[in-house]
Amino acid sequence: MMRAYPRIAIAGFQHETNCFGTTKAGLTEFEMADSWPAMLQGEEVITETRGMNLPIAGFANAAKEAGMELVPILWCAAEPSAHVTDHAFDAICGKILDGLGAAWPVDGIFLDLHGAMVTESHADGEGELLRRLRAWAGPELPILVSLDLHANISEDLVDLADYIAIYRTYPHLDMAETGERCVPVLQHLLAGERLHKVFRQMDYLIPLHAQYTSATPGRDLYAVLPRLEEAGVLADIALGFTAADLPDTRPSCVAYARTAVAAAQAADHIASLFARLEAQSAHPMLSPEQAAKIACQPRAAMPVVLADVQDNPGAGGTSDTTGLLAALADAGAQNVLMGLFHDPETAAAARKAGQGGLFRTALGGRSGVAGDKPFEANFEVLALGDGICRYSGEMYGGGVAALGPTAALRLTGAEADISLVVTSIRNQCLDLAHFTHIGLKPETFDTICVKSTAHFRAAFEPIASAVYPVAAPGVFPCDLGRFPYKNLHPDVRTAPAKG
């Protein structure tokens, strides 16, 4: 019997795990603020995310409007990195289960998850969380989940969840909307209706820099979902996260419909579209030297953006590799802006030198990646900041990034003219505010280099005359043929099939 005001427990636990990364995510990383808020508990889950582009915020808003009573438990995320420690995973799962116990009885659960979480002991972090929740709550309680477009979805997760909604844009502009989409489905399930589900996994990987959804294959794949919805099938697509060395590392789709046949037909249609688009999943990248040549060409109007796609902290990169910087310096490139370098020691040295001060440092280069080394040079301190950065772009607008003590520096005593931003907390450079908050105006530079794979596109494409992905050293290779995979499913290809 459905209550007049159904009680719904909500929680969030997000991590995108780069199995080739060098630093793990412990409890501290989930408790601290970075590009997303610090760990939130109880009512804070709603009050501190209100209006933000987050699934839990979108779900909470729409669920309240639909007359549901919400019981917020916990929301946390850590910047992408190597594995989540067992200690952190068990502690956070324990908090969610304890919260559920205190909230009991509830009529349903909504979870804001990523879908590519790997822990020290569990290859399928989200699947393990769902197993623990199901064991506690029983098989009947509706559990709805929102996932990131970069999820590596397992069959277990699809079995354990009643419904999975996935972001449909990269850059992720629809995170809140994805949470919102779960509300009518939950109402449907609470009314006692059921949905048949079908899950399909694809047989080739798409490199991250080729996954942005304003170009093919993403654009063509996602265009099919509204059409399926008109035909009564709720389907979603995950493009996968290629830095996980697992059998479930691959794109996939889920389809939900009133009949098993309709769900299967929709999933087959999506799978055939994937097969047709395989050849278009390879997008070219420049070498750092080729990129430096472009940076040295005369610029008429808007800046060129060079994306250091393999050192994206949003994919578990260290955000401190120096390959592109060194190539630009060697080529004598002028009027260049770069960010964000994660180097707390250099940020502290800049603070000691003071605004306008000069100092020598060995910047970054601690990734451990072959061919990467610190960049030793003299710098002038242009500006110093506390790293509290209010996002101005569409993706995170309304939110605040914590960059830690931050410095804007300019290379001195060199032929090249390069300015760069150094932070104390790893953050992906995806918003103009990452530069403007410390007094730098990106549009006045000839070349802008961002340590980001695709999220930067939402904010930087409008001010760019061209965008080029660059393959400089980093712990997130986009040239998948060079990845040391050992555990992919034998059917999965890392480069488009020939012919």
Q: How many CB atoms lie within 10 A of CB 479?
A: 14
Nearest to 208 by CA among 471, 489, 436, 392: 471
Choice between 35 and 85, CB closer to Zn ion: 35
The torsion angles phi and psi of 176, rounded to 5 degrees, stand at: -65, -40
Q: Is the dihedral of CA 163, 169, 171, 174 positive or negative?
A: negative
CB of 454 to Zn ion, least distance (A): 9
* H helix intervals, 354-486: 433-436, 457-460
- 213: tokens are 């959804």
CB of 77 to Zn ion, least distance (A): 11
Choice between 112 and 148, CB closer to Zn ion: 148
CB of 172 to Zn ion, least distance (A): 6
What is the residue type of 58? G
Choice between 49 and 312, CB closer to Zn ion: 312
CB of 15 to Zn ion, least distance (A): 11
- 394: tokens are 């569409």
Choice between 29 and 174, CB closer to Zn ion: 174
Choice between 150 and 457, CB closer to Zn ion: 150
Would you say how long the chain is, in residues? 499
Q: Which of residues 13-32 bind Zn ion (CB under 5 A)?
A: none
Pairing of strands 375-385, 406-412: antiparallel
- How far is 284 from 293, CA to CA, in rounded Å? 16
Choice between 124 and 343, CB closer to Zn ion: 124
Choice between 283 and 437, CB closer to Zn ion: 283
- 275: tokens are 């097969």
CB of 476 to Zn ion, least distance (A): 12
- 98: Cα within 13 Å, side-chain hemisphere: 9
> By rule CB under 5 A, what string of x and - marks binding of each residue 395-434 to Zn ion?
----------------------------------------
CB of 466 to Zn ion, least distance (A): 24
Choice between 369 and 454, CB closer to Zn ion: 454
Nearest to 12 by CA among 101, 117, 135, 154: 117
CB of 35 to Zn ion, least distance (A): 12
Choice between 172 and 437, CB closer to Zn ion: 172
DSSP conformational letter for 119: B
CB of 450 to Zn ion, least distance (A): 16
Pairing of strands 69-77, 7-14: parallel
Measured CA to CA in angstroms, residue 371 lies from 346, 364, 391, 482 at distances of: 21, 13, 33, 14
CB of 339 to Zn ion, least distance (A): 20
CB of 205 to Zn ion, least distance (A): 15
- 445: Cα within 13 Å, side-chain hemisphere: 28
Choice between 148 and 180, CB closer to Zn ion: 148
Choice between 418 and 430, CB closer to Zn ion: 430
Residues 6+ apart with CB under 8 A from 407: 346, 347, 350, 351, 381, 382, 383, 384, 385, 421, 422, 438
Size of the site for Zn ion (CB under 5 A): 2
Q: Which of residues 101-160 bind Zn ion (CB under 5 A)?
A: 148, 150
Cβ distance 222 to 168 under 8 Å? yes
What is the residue type of 481? G
CB of 54 to Zn ion, least distance (A): 13
CB of 148 to Zn ion, least distance (A): 4
Cα maximum dimension of the chain: 76
Choice between 24 and 150, CB closer to Zn ion: 150
CB of 214 to Zn ion, least distance (A): 15
Residues 6+ apart with CB under 8 A from 177: 58
CB closest to Zn ion, residue no: 150
Cβ distance 182 to 144 under 8 Å? yes
Choice between 219 and 227, CB closer to Zn ion: 219
Alpha carbon of residue 399 to chain centroid: 15
Residues interacting with Zn ion, by CB under 5 A? 148, 150
